[in-house]
Amino acid sequence: MRPLEWDVRFGTGVAALDADHREFLSLQNGLLEARGRGRGHRVLHQVLEQLIAWAEVHQAREEAMFDASGYPAAARHRAEHARLLASARNLRQRHAMDLERLTRAVLGLFDHWWKRHILEHDLEFGRYLAAAAPVPTVSADVTVDATV
Ligand SMILES: [Fe+2]
Ligand SMILES: [Fe+2]
């Protein structure tokens, strides 16, 4: 797995969510880079803690937007959030697991989270918001002739 650069195609169209998703990528890249320098095991627990803290804040932010926009797929998306967060918390409990295996498991979770959640479900939510955007108001220059 290689570090991934942010790309415009990853955007949901919602600045706050995109900023969070960039943070997610930088956590993932931080672990990959540390691993490349032979320091993956040292930063692993800290990165996992940061991922959990990130998810708690980010997912709540996204879910508040589901409520505000009446997103019809909210229940499915929320369930997916709960599963991802549970997986991360579960890995935090694996004290007995060999550090190399744990590193691979955490990187696997990042990969799944990025490709199967952010790039699928979160972008789908972004498309919903874009389609549901309020119709622009008619320009004030347009007048209606009511003298007929
Ligand atoms: Fe999400
Ligand atoms: Fe997200």
Q: For 11, phi and psi rounded to 5 degrees?
A: -70, 140
pLDDT in the model for residue 1: 81
Going from the Cα of 103 to the center of ligand 1, the distance in angstroms, rounded, reads 23
**What is the C-alpha R_g of the chain?**
20
Residue pLDDT, tens place only, 91-101: 999 978 899 99
Cα dihedral value 7, 68, 74, 52, nearest 10? 60
What whole-number distance in Å separates Cα of residue 45 and Cα of residue 105? 12
**Domain residue limits, the chain:** 15-131
Query: In what helix (H) or strand (E) does residue 102 lie, and over which residues does it extend?
Result: helix 99-112
Residue pLDDT, tens place only, 36-45: 999 999 999 9
pLDDT in the model for residue 148: 47
What whole-number distance in Å separates Cα of residue 105 and Cα of residue 68? 35
Query: What average pLDDT does the chain have?
Result: 92
Residue pLDDT, tens place only, 78-117: 999 999 999 999 999 997 889 999 999 999 999 999 999 9
Ligand nearest to the CA of 10: 2
Residue 135 near residue 23, CB atoms below 8 Å = no
Contacts with 99 (C-beta within 8 Å, 6 or more apart), sequence order: 41, 44
Judged against a pLDDT cut of 60, whether residue 146 lies above it is answered with no
Decide if domain 15-131 falls under CATH 1.20.120.50. yes
Residue pLDDT, tens place only, 56-72: 999 999 999 999 999 99
pLDDT in the model for residue 95: 79
Going from the Cα of 55 to the center of ligand 2, the distance in angstroms, rounded, reads 8
Ligand nearest to the CA of 17: 2
Going from the Cα of 118 to the center of ligand 1, the distance in angstroms, rounded, reads 6
Ligand nearest to the CA of 125: 1
Ligand nearest to the CA of 117: 1
